Amino acid sequence: MRTEVVAIVDDPERAGLPGPESETWRRFAALPGVFVAGTGLLLQVAHPVVGAGVLQHSDFRNTPWSRAFRTHLSTMRFVYGLGHGAEVEGDRLRRVHRTIRGVDEQGREYHALDPVAYAWVHLTLARFMVDTAAWFGTPMTEDETERMWQEFRAVGRALHVRDRHMPPDWAGASRWFDEVVHEVLESNQSTRDVLDSLAHPAPPHPLVPRRAWDLVMRPAGRVVTLTSVGILPEELRDRLGLVWTSADERRLRRFAGVVRAVMRVLPEPLRYPPLAYAVILRARWRQRTGRANQCSA
């Protein structure tokens, strides 16, 4: 297994990218995001272009854990500057997606670099931050949300998302989100595969005993399915044929309340995954030492 080298770009804010004090850095890797990640993935693969590309060119169904880990590393690169930073990761992603094209099950041609679909995936990542805060943390204020979106538009530019495909403000982004949900998103094989993986997560390795794995992960799968489905827009939930009852809504709200209470008392190092927190600490240290050097000069 190749070791990931942790490095931070010297000054991400110099390139217009978010840095240690940004809303994006504070929000993106917050630990409760694990309960919203499934929602974001469903929003992505329900787009016909994304769903077809995942179905025909991804190993998600057979190796969901390795695929999730690679995605996590990629987001750490373009959000937090892991490795060589957002611009290099943006170039890598374009190379990876350049050959992902074909014809879907309904006879529609698709290409993974379709600029509107590419921008849609980027928007779902911003929406992920808003939903995580709304359900499992402190909801973002209007100013915080707008600041986050402007930061995330800068990340989008590094990933080669064009300005004209990213609404200039969060109000416009929210309107576009609603339009895509209403007019574009659909039920497809990829959405069914994601729902099955959430409910019945496969062992990460053949040597993991299946019975022991199921004993631990089936309850976790029920929780993640509850949160992932419950946070979806109601219209999309109905389109996917998912039943959502008032009892489900009460369970989701009770669970979210427990998570919020736990997050309020957790020390900061436990509010983020270890890799994300290590990157954040490294960037803060570089920022402090840089300021100290400037003052001494």
* Residue 93: pLDDT over 80: yes
Q: Model confidence at 285, in pLDDT bands (50, 70, 90)? A: confident
Quick one: pLDDT at residue 290? 67
The arithmetic mean of pLDDT across residues 260-269, rounded, is 95
Amino acid (1-letter code) at residue 5: V
More confident residue, 250 or 10: 250
Quick one: pLDDT at residue 58? 85
Whole-angstrom distance between the N-terminal and C-terminal Cα of the chain?
A: 44
More confident residue, 229 or 201: 229
Please tell me whether the overall predicted TM-score, pTM, comes out greater than 0.85 for this model: yes
More confident residue, 83 or 234: 234
Looking from the CA of 265 toward its CB, the CA atoms found within 13 Å total 4
How does pLDDT run across 58-81, given as a tens digit for each residue? 877 777 778 888 888 999 999 998
Contact present, 263 and 137 (Cβ < 8 Å): yes
More confident residue, 9 or 143: 143
How does pLDDT run across 2-36, given as a tens digit for each residue? 333 333 343 444 458 999 889 999 999 999 999 99
Tokens 């957002």 locate to 86
Best CA proximity match to 148, nearest among 27, 12, 33: 27
* Residue 262: pLDDT over 90: yes
The arithmetic mean of pLDDT across residues 249-263, rounded, is 98
In the chain, what percentage of residues exceed pLDDT 90?
Answer: 73
Q: Model confidence at 55, in pLDDT bands (50, 70, 90)? A: very high
How does pLDDT run across 153-175, given as a tens digit for each residue? 999 999 999 999 999 999 999 99
Quick one: pLDDT at residue 243? 95
Quick one: pLDDT at residue 75? 93
Amino acid (1-letter code) at residue 70: R
Q: What is the mean pLDDT of the chain?
A: 90
Quick one: pLDDT at residue 16? 81
Q: And the tokens for 92?
A: 């890598």
Amino acid (1-letter code) at residue 221: G
Contact present, 185 and 46 (Cβ < 8 Å): yes
In terms of Cβ atoms closer than 10 Å to its own Cβ (0-12, 13-18, 19+), residue 12 is buried
* Residue 259: pLDDT over 70: yes
CA distance 33 to 88: 25
Q: What's the farthest any 2 CA atoms get from each other in the chain?
A: 65
In the chain, what percentage of residues exceed pLDDT 70?
Answer: 92
Q: H/E/C letters for each residue in 87-126?
A: HHHHHHHHHHHHCCEEECCCCCEEECCCHHHHHHHHHHHH
